[in-house]
Amino acid sequence: MSTDPTESTPLPILLLNGPNLNTLGLRQPEIYGSDTLADVVDLAERTASELGYGLRAAQTNHEGEMIDWIHEARGQVSGIVINPAGWTHTSVALADALVIPEVPIMEVHISNVHKREAFRHHSYVSPIAAGIIVGYGVRGYEYAIRRLVELISD
């Protein structure tokens, strides 16, 4: 990334986490590990910063709030990394909203959803995502940000 002050700073990356991810580190550590949401955000901020990007991170258990954030992101972010959690398998509304910002989307899941219950095998987000990272634990967020920046830079 150039340090030329006449060049503009890239828009930040938006990191969104869906329902129950605020309980990371407590909820089913045998599936999700012991890292907390704060650990995830810290990792994502470090990774984005290393690549020359800022990061805006948010988590909610309220679908309408998530959709509002996505609407507000239009023209404000370079791309979105999202772990839609349970909404992955249920929310057409979330998938519809994710096309509105017109930026690359990376879908992340901490666990390998394909090794879990059958209902977790379908994602409404995957068809619109530029990439999907599953089963790498919280490191998946780092991988998603790195790939997103590659896509943005192309």
Annotated catalytic residue 32: yes
Q: Which of 32, 53, 124, 141 is catalytic?
A: 32
Non-local (6+) Cβ contacts of 47 within 8 A are: 141, 142, 145, 146
Tell me how far CA of residue 84 lies from CA of 18, 53, 90, 123, 139, in angstroms.
5, 22, 10, 9, 16
- 53, 71, 109, 121: which is the annotated catalytic residue? 109
Q: Element (H or E) spanning 41, and its range?
A: helix 37-50
Active site residue 109: yes
Active site residues: 32, 109
